[in-house]
Amino acid sequence: MRSEADPFVIEVLPIAQEDLYQAFSYIAADNADAAEKLLDGIAEAVERASHFPFSGTEVLVGGRRLRRYFRLYVPPYCVYYRVMEGRIVIMRILHERMDAKRYL
């Protein structure tokens, strides 16, 4: 049984792993240090969210059937996640200029 002090389990969907790989590769091609800094920033943000899962900015997506996501901003990327049964599920990691509603 999970107590309130325990962090939520973090699950990263394969598509979000691919998003992260693409972002890292793109940035590392020009600046390896900046790419590492992005990874560290995302890891720190997700770790904080595991302790405070509803701290991200709420985003509602959909027409008749709204889906509730939360967004963490790690410039210039946004980490989109859902809170499900004691887990934080990382759905996508998208550049801030991308139309998130199209990809969620």
- Tell me the per-residue pLDDT of 53-81, one tens digit each, with 9 for 90 and over: 999 999 998 878 889 999 999 999 999 99
**Ranges of residues in the chain whose predicted pLDDT is under 70:** 1-5
Q: Does residue 3 lie in a domain region? A: no
Q: Does residue 82 lie in a domain region? A: yes
pLDDT for res 49: 95
Q: Does residue 103 lie in a domain region? A: no
Q: Return all residues near 28 (Cβ < 8 A) that are at least 6 apart.
A: 34, 35
CB 90 within 8 A of CB 16: yes
pLDDT for res 3: 53
pLDDT for res 5: 66
Using only C-alpha atoms, the chain has a radius of gyration, in whole angstroms, of 14
pLDDT for res 64: 80
pLDDT for res 54: 94
Query: How many domains, the chain?
Result: 1
pLDDT for res 104: 87
Q: Does residue 104 lie in a domain region? A: no
Domain of 63, in residue numbers: 9-98
pLDDT for res 19: 97
pLDDT for res 2: 53
